[in-house]
């Protein structure tokens, strides 16, 4: 288990190092573009270069807004929130934009809520989506996670494990790792523990 945690720590360190290198390269490119845009052109006949006031706006990647039909509300809330954060969308515009990307039962619900003035803030909207479309509050994702066992492939078990673990806040990484290992089939669990 210590070897796995060491490997995870090394991966995290490597990821941080790569991120720092990428940020350094981006800064160099921006500096180079600034220098290129502010340097006088060789064909210019004037002896005194004129200052240029050109701002460099990094172009943001165009992303598709995810559609919501009422299924998997937690994932949609995460994606749409990430989308709005990436584009620095003000809270006052988020409700209107989100309405264009709802369909089916979610759109019907949104129309009813909007017509009855039930949706006035972005945070209220997110809470209302969770209340309307999320799984029952009586379901205990922590209990389900601790009872989860591998029945098919490790990949399928991992997908089920991640889906439940994403719904739980506060479990330590070591507890999650222990829980994951304990749910593996006995042959695989022994091999895994031997590592």
What is the SS3 assignment for 38-71? HCCCCCCCCCCCCCCCCCCCCCCCCCCCCCECCC
Q: pTM of the full predicted structure?
A: 0.47
Residue 67 lies in a domain: no
Split at pLDDT 50, 70, 90, the class of 103 is very high
Domain span at 31: 1-58
What was the pLDDT predicted at 110? 93
Q: 127 and 147 in one domain?
A: no
What pLDDT is stored for residue 49 in this prediction? 47
Taking each continuous run of H as one helix and of E as one strand, the counts in the chain are 9, 0
Contact 65, 80 (CB under 8 A): yes
Which of 149, 158, 161, 144 minimizes the C-alpha distance to 185? 149
pLDDT at 96 > cutoff 60: yes
Count the domains in the chain.
3
Radius of gyration of the chain (CA): 25
22-80 pLDDT, tens digit each: 666 676 776 666 665 555 544 444 444 444 444 444 556 777 878 999 888 888 999 99
Based on the domain organization, do 154 and 186 belong to the same domain? yes
Residue 150 structure tokens: 């591998």
d(CA 173, CA 137): 24
* pLDDT for res 140: 74
């Amino acid at each position: 288990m210590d070897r796995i945690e060491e490997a995870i720590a090394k991966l995290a360190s490597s990821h941080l190092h790569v991120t720092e290198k990428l940020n350094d390269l981006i800064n160099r490119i921006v500096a180079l573009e600034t220098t290129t845009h502010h340097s006088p052109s060789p064909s210019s006949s004037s002896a005194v270069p004129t200052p240029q006031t050109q701002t460099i706006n990094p172009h943001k990647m165009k992303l598709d807004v995810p559609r919501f039909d009422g299924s998997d509300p937690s994932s949609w809330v995460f994606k749409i929130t990430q989308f709005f954060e990436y584009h620095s969308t003000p809270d006052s515009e988020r409700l209107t934009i989100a309405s264009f990307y709802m369909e089916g039962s979610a759109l019907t619900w949104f129309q009813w809520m909007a017509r009855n003035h039930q949706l006035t803030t972005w945070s209220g909207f997110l809470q209302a989506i969770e209340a309307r479309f999320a799984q029952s509050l009586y379901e205990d994702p922590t209990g389900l996670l601790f009872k989860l066992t591998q029945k098919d492939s490790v990949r399928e078990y991992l997908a089920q494990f991640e889906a439940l673990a994403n719904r739980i806040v506060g479990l330590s990484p070591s507890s999650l790792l222990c829980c994951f290992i304990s749910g593996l089939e006995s042959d695989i669990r022994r091999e895994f523990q031997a590592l």
